[in-house]
Amino acid sequence: MDFRARRWRYGLLIGTAFVAGAIAGPDLGALGRAFAQDSSRTDMYQMLKVFGDVMQRVRADYVDPVDDKELIENSINGMLTGLDPHSSYMNAKAFKDMQIQTKGEFGGLGIEVNEDKGIIRVVSPIDDTPAAKAGIKPGDIITALDGKTLIGMTLNDAVDKMRGPPNSKIVLTIKRQNIDKPLEVPLIRENIKIQVVKSRMEPNDIGYVRLSQFTEQADSGIKQAVKDLRAKNGGKLRGLILDLRNDPGGLLDQAVSVSSDFIDQGEIVSTRARHPEDSQRWDAKGEDILHGAPLVVLINGGSASASEIVSGALQDHRRAILLGTRSFGKGSVQTVIPLPGDGAMRLTTARYYTPSGRSIQAVGIVPDVPVQETAEAAPAFGGEHEADYNKILTNQGGTGPQALPPRTDLPSVVKQIPDKPPADFPKFDVAKPDQTDFQLQQGLVLMQAMVAQKSAPAN
């Protein structure tokens, strides 16, 4: 039976049920739908009455006096966080903090966290912040602050407690993969001014640019970094390594602009909302600031959201070769909607899709050249990727990961690049990245081959 037949049959059954309680009707299907809508409306009013009854009982009989505003805020937040891991309510203070953070300056620890069924997980630490310096890793579970459990605490409350005046101390209790005992991590809060873009020259005229977050300075920072690299190297820039590892994302418009820095034309990303008229598409709006020079992008499980938009666009357009590990898999768009009282809600309103039509929701971007950061075994518990969370959006409406044909433009050296470092490879040292960063080392090997391949004369 086709869909139209099934739809008609169900409508007829509803109409028949309605007629059983009435004499006749000119349009049984329409009356049936109206009955269903009225029933749904009645159910909603009934639940709102239950909510009012519960709130009144709490106000009257809870063991301690309660604040009405706090009750309502907790109720709103519970409604939103129950939808998916990324929808939430922000009171006036949290909303103000978010606005400050997107500008690249805020106080606290410098750590991006998310909530999953009452568990506070680290998405990514931010470069050069107390969290990053202390070795906090993506996937870490924060179980307590200053010895007090986070069980039953909302994400907003947990973040609020992690913030504080500069030079004040806080101790995070961490549960980490492959480590049986909890880790006690003391941190000193700082007034954090994020330098979202860092750059340096590598040997053989290869540039390296690190983007740690998609704040309002991301696109301008990338352009300036490439300009500075050329200036410092006598105008030579034979290739670029763009490091998006542990970049938790940020502003959508910045993701589009950064992608446009390397793609001359074509689609960057599209979004599909519940209502078709709300769906959008963004195309490249700039010019390739590398003028066609080879590009390698480093990604890992901490590369999320805007990082995945950029990675997916560059991969789909065959503009860059991606190296590292599978990205986080956050393929949804959150709209921040201001509310009365100076608060706001962060509501998931759409899924986004790469230029080839792929949805990376709960799947992530798979690198062209898989290379692990360490030789350690796989994690003992989940939490590093979107797919490990509860109540996530389904991956739907896309073309699937098979939308892209296998790459035929990879240099032959790719077959010689190991997928993980040897067991005796040194532990990462931020002061010696070229000697201790295995993924970067392999990125440089790949880049040298790409430069040689581009420079080779045509036969």
Q: How far apart are CA 289 and CA 222, in angstroms?
A: 10
Picking from 315, 212, 236, the residue whose alpha carbon sits closest to that of residue 268 is 315
Taking alpha carbons only, the member of 322, 321, 331, 325 closest to residue 354 is: 331
pLDDT band at 105 (very low <50, low <70, confident <90, very high): low
119-132 per-position pLDDT tens digit: 898 988 888 899 99
Cα distance between residue 171 and residue 283, in whole Å: 45
Question: Once rounded to an integer, what is the mean pLDDT over residues 47-53?
Answer: 94
Tens of pLDDT, residue by residue over 20-34, are 333 334 444 555 555
* DSSP string across 152-187: T--HHHHHHHH--STT-EEEEEEE-TT--SPEEEEE
Backbone angles phi, psi at 415, to 5 degrees: -65, -20
Amino acid at 415: K
Give the tokens for residue 219.
């696109």
Place of tokens 């966290």: 113
The closest alpha carbon to 237, from 211, 200, 264, 265, belongs to 200
Q: How crowded is the C-beta side of 378, counted as CA atoms within 13 Å?
A: 3
* pLDDT reported for residue 104: 62
Q: What is the mean pLDDT of the chain?
A: 87
Structural domains present in the chain: 90-193 (2.30.42.10), 197-455 (3.90.226.10)
Name which residue leads in pLDDT, 388 or 306: 306
Model confidence at 172: pLDDT above 90: yes
High-pLDDT (> 70) share of the chain, %: 88
- pLDDT attached to residue 3: 32
Lowest-pLDDT choice from 35-39, 165-169, 224-228, 315-319? 35-39
Give the residue numbers marked as catalytic: 305, 316, 330
> Who's near 48: CB < 8 A, 6+ residues apart?
none
107: part of which helix (H) or strand (E)?
strand 105-108
pLDDT tens digits along 385-394: 999 888 999 9
Contacts of 268 (CB under 8 A, 6+ apart): 255, 256, 259, 260, 282, 283, 284, 309, 313, 355
Which is it for the CA torsion 115, 120, 124, 130, positive or negative?
positive
**Which pLDDT score is estimated for 412?**
97
**Residue 13 pLDDT exceeds 50:** no
Pairing of strands 105-108, 190-193: antiparallel
Dihedral angle sign, alpha carbons of residues 131, 136, 336, 333:
positive
Residues 48/49/54/59 CA torsion (nearest 10 deg): 100
Kindly report the pTM of this predicted structure.
0.79
Q: Is 274 buried (19+), middle (13-18) or exposed (0-12) by CB count in 10 A?
A: exposed
Strands 344-353, 267-273: pairing kind: antiparallel
Query: What integer is the mean pLDDT of 38-67?
Result: 91
State what percent of residues in the chain have pLDDT above 90. 67
Closest CA to 101 of 175, 183, 163, 44: 163
For residue 296, give the nearest of 317, 318, 323 by alpha carbon.
Answer: 323
Residue range 45-64: mean pLDDT, rounded? 95
The answer to whether 456 and 412 have CB atoms below 8 angstroms apart is no
Across 214-223, 359-368, 378-387, least confident range: 378-387
Tokens of 5: 């037949």
pLDDT tens for 261-298 read 999 999 999 999 999 999 999 999 889 999 999 999 99
CA angle 225, 226, 229 (to 5 degrees): 85
Token code pair at residue 192? 């954090």
Instruction: State the pLDDT at residue 379.
Output: 53
